[in-house]
Amino acid sequence: MAREAFDAAVVGGGPVGGCCALALAAAGMRVALVGPRPAGPPAALAAGDAGYDLRVLALTRASERILARLGLWGEIAAGRHGRFRAMRVWDAASPAAVRFDADEVGEPALGWTVEQRCIVEALWRRLEAEAESGALALVPARVESLEPGSADDARLGLDGGGMLRARLVVAADGADSRVRELAGIAVRGGPYEQRAVVATLACERPHRLTAWQRFLPDGPIALLPLDDLHRVSIVWSTTPAHADALLEMEPEAFAGAVTEAAEARLGAMTLEGPRAAYALRHQHAAAYVEGRVALVGDAAHVIHPLAGQGFNLGLLDAAALAECAAAAWRAHGDPGAAAALARYQRWRRGENLAMGLLMEAFRSGFGARALPVRAARALVFAVADRCAPLRRALVRRAMGLEGDLPDLARVRCVEAAP
């Protein structure tokens, strides 16, 4: 692999990087995907009683479309996945509540719930098939250095001593991106004093294809519906001390705590399998591009999981970058041209910043115990609950049916989910 030259090198084989590599290759570019195949979750985490992955992602309709256009949705939808037709959000500290419904916007679903490993497996099967047919190159190495090459490319140094050249370098190497650091791009933000506890639970009452989220003083608890009407995947964001306590509880006590936190809306809950916790942080790159490098996914932004948007935003980044790069490549053969990357940055940075700020406002607004803040949030809920046009606009935006979407997210596809 020494000194091979590519139109684009995508660093990071996670869900965002893999999809970005497929989108760039589909446009006809010579693409290398650099990075190890992501390991599955540890066996202990992978094999709960029901065998669900503890990492379940809520996907928007925009993500469904992008995954379909990349040829992945058919396999994902044929496997185990859930869907939600409604979303109920309510506040523990006031009577405030709001309900969003797919019927209101004339859609069959607000979104889908898919185990992360199902996405990664479908993605890597496709990447390997594409590599087999010569449409892209898989380079199972880690990037260790980045240097400007000649005037029109950049050079990536790999562990093991290899090197490759590319006109566009995509940093999709996650929240602690090495490529971002090598490109000298700073990040703003930091850790939240919160951890997210994840687990799979059986529920006494059916979830009714509804995603449930209750805002508690220490953070929100979300119950995501799985394929089985009596199973949910939870994400409970709370203080580190409380997260530790939740992980250490006996299974019955933990299930009792979840039942109580969800106000028993789904009846009594029973823990199925293991639990895990993730430290939460928020961060945003000061720039999305530098020279021939462009950041996508968690390398560019990490937001609170309360709205389940991190991967969805990363997929939109990947689709938007591929669109800008492909247009430049078709026009003059250079997908990493400064004008193309500047267009990408203008397009995605503002959108992601706005979403990050909104999540921050939700998180801090719901964490506040002061009476005026509680009154204000009750008012916001009441307005959203009573004002159908506002609710519809919010829903269409959150589903990715509106906004400045890349082409891959716009086109309705024949491969739609069952």
Ligand X SMILES: Cc1cc2nc3c(=O)[nH]c(=O)nc-3n(C[C@H](O)[C@H](O)[C@H](O)COP(=O)(O)OP(=O)(O)OC[C@H]3O[C@@H](n4cnc5c(N)ncnc54)[C@H](O)[C@@H]3O)c2cc1C
- Lookup: tokens for 113: 């719930």
Site for ligand X (CB under 6 A): which residue of 305, 335, 336, 356? 305
Rounded to 5 degrees, what angle do the CA atoms 280, 281, 286 make? 160
Site for ligand X (CB under 6 A): which residue of 21, 31, 38, 272? 38
Q: What contacts 351, CB < 8 A, 6 or more positions away?
A: 313, 316, 403, 404
Residue type for position 294: A
Nearer Cβ to ligand X (274/337): 274
Nearer Cβ to ligand X (297/367): 297
User: Minimal distance in Å, beta carbon 237 to ligand X?
Assistant: 8
Site for ligand X (CB under 6 A): which residue of 8, 15, 32, 166? 15
12 binds ligand X (CB under 6 A): yes
Stretch that binds ligand X, among 203-211, 306-314, 320-328, 332-340 (CB under 6 A): 306-314
7 binds ligand X (CB under 6 A): no
Site for ligand X (CB under 6 A): which residue of 21, 32, 35, 61? 35
Stretch that binds ligand X, among 203-211, 259-267, 310-318, 381-389 (CB under 6 A): 310-318
Q: With residue 411 as reference, give the H or E element that holds it.
A: none
Answer whether 55's CB lies under 8 Å from 115's CB: yes
309 binds ligand X (CB under 6 A): yes
User: Minimal distance in Å, beta carbon 198 to ligand X?
Assistant: 6
Q: What contacts 115, CB < 8 A, 6 or more positions away?
A: 52, 53, 55, 56, 57, 80, 81
Nearer Cβ to ligand X (32/269): 32
Q: Determine the 3-state secondary structure of 326 from DSSP.
A: helix
Q: What contacts 104, CB < 8 A, 6 or more positions away?
A: 388, 391, 392, 395
DSSP string over 377-393 = HHHHHHHHHH-HHHHHH
User: Minimal distance in Å, beta carbon 170 to ligand X?
Assistant: 11
* Pairwise CA distance, residues 287 & 295, whole Å: 8
Residue whose C-beta lies closest to ligand X: 14
User: Minimal distance in Å, beta carbon 297 to ligand X?
Assistant: 3
Beta-strand pair 210-216/187-203:
unpaired
Site for ligand X (CB under 6 A): which residue of 94, 206, 265, 278? 278
Q: With residue 87 as reference, give the H or E element that holds it.
A: strand 86-91
Nearer Cβ to ligand X (7/298): 298
Q: With residue 42 as reference, give the H or E element that holds it.
A: none
Beta-sheet strand order (sheet of 187-203): 97-101, 86-91, 210-216, 219-225, 231-238, 187-203, 269-285, 301-302
Stretch that binds ligand X, among 71-79, 161-169, 172-180, 350-358 (CB under 6 A): 172-180
Nearer Cβ to ligand X (143/226): 143
For residues 199 to 238, the per-residue mask of contacts with ligand X, x marking binding by CB under 6 A and - elsewhere, is ------------------------------------x---
Residues that bind ligand X (CB under 6 A): 11-17, 34-36, 38, 57-58, 142-143, 172-174, 178, 196, 198, 235, 278, 297-298, 305, 308-312, 314
